Amino acid sequence: MVVFNLSGLLALTPFISCVSAQLASGYSIGPLTTSGAKWGVKVCDVTNYGAVADKSTDLGPPLLAAFEACIDGGVVNIPVGDFAMSTWVTLTGGKAWAINLEGVIYRTGTAGGNMIYIEHSTDFEIYSSRSSGAIQGLGYEFHSQGEYGPRLLRLYDVINFAIHDIALVDCRFSQLFTSGGEVYNMIIRGANEGGLDGIDVSGFNMHIHDVEVTNKDECVTVKNPSNHFLIENIHCNWSGGSCFGSLGLDTDIYKITYSNIYTVSSNNMLMLKSNGGNGSVSDCLFENFIGHGNAYSLYIDAFWTDLALQPGNGVLYTGLTFSNWKGTCAAGNTRPPIYLNCPSTEPCTGIVIEDFAMWTDSGSAEYYKCIDAWGEGECLKGGSAHTAYGTSTITVTAAPTGYSAATMPNDLAAPFDISSSIPIPTIPTTFFPGATPATKRAYP
């Protein structure tokens, strides 16, 4: 397990936050230096270091050389064209720098690991000023061999950064162990196979918004430890769905907001998963969720067997509010749209479920199931006690008022097969019904 070290994050440059109260006030989000200023310092074009847009010449060494030339500030430019990448790069350090990806990087190497790994860096940005840049992992070539292939992009210990206006296609995707970051105007496309991560994120003070994810694994998932995240306007389009975890020892997650989350034909709308362990998930808000045809909707599973049982009495889930959920689930009579399975040794407490209106696509009834879960709403046990009581269920025999919800115009009709290449998509202009992206696409 990779653990993100939160020490030193208080050195982030202070500012007055105006994005959301859930983000930490007094700390900056995103790069400290504008992209325009970075262009004015220095431009390190990879074609000046040996890169050729012929879909054959290895981009790896030129990319590393261009980074080393711009490590103290400037822009590493990957121009329009098709570039091959057969060796992976680790870009360590750097301050007030950026990668402008205008072309398409095609994976041609066969190693695992991370194609582009950025670590111990500050004031960083990777983006496409034409909204045309992409990394094409061609993961189907690995899937046929029973392998996942490399991650396309990974950031570790990167402070004050942004990732935006690029597409990541057909392989495992981005892992972020970072702080003070913003991720937006992105599309991530993967095949219908578990293990193909979307965005996994851990750290402090993160704003992730206006992102679409297709895969059969995690959409936008919070890892441990994390605090002060705002995750909004997310389209999980045939995906595993958004999650917390898996969580075990020393869990420390708090002040996380998910807002305007649209999930279609996925494993779940939101799942908090653990197996034993200790620590807590607390003071989080999950509001304005729309679902259509998902296997699970609101799901807490403290007995997630895909994770080996961890020492401890269990992770405490406390002070969590689920507000304004609507739409449909696939089969609410067999997989309840509310399913809270808390440990008897550490019951959930302070849970609030309000304005919950989900109905089933099949059958004429559904049920809600709460196990050792205390709070207000639906099948929760009322009161302030923090003791085990067993199981509480509610059967619903009529569609709740207001369950009908809008759909998205770019919902996929079917997932992507693991045996063929996935086309590079255009970055959408909307990621939640009726919502305009907080930041316009870079182009046009």
Task: Judge contact between 264 and 411, C-beta under 8 A.
Answer: yes
By the 10 Å C-beta count (0-12 exposed, 13-18 middle, 19+ buried), 92 is classed as: middle
Kindly report the number of other CB atoms within 10 A of residue 215's CB atom: 28
Do you know the residue count of the chain?
Answer: 444
Q: Partners of 176 in the beta sheet?
A: 155, 201
Q: Rounded distance, CA 105 to CA 150, Å?
A: 14
Q: Rounded distance, CA 327 to CA 292, Å?
A: 6
Q: What is the CA radius of gyration of the chain?
A: 22
Q: Rounded distance, CA 184 to CA 131, Å?
A: 12
Annotation says 217 is catalytic? yes
Kindly report the number of other CB atoms within 10 A of residue 238's CB atom: 23
Q: Residues 6 or more apart from 71 whose CB is under 8 A from it?
A: 93, 94, 95, 97
Candidates 165, 200, 292, 372; catalytic one:
292
Candidates 197, 210, 217, 372; catalytic one:
217
SS3 61: helix
H-helix or E-strand spanning residue 121? strand 114-127
Tokens of 123: 């004031």
Annotation says 292 is catalytic? yes
Q: Residues 6 or more apart from 441 whose CB is under 8 A from it?
A: 131, 165, 185, 427, 429
| Alpha-helical runs (H) found in 116-265 | 140-143
Active-site positions? 217, 292
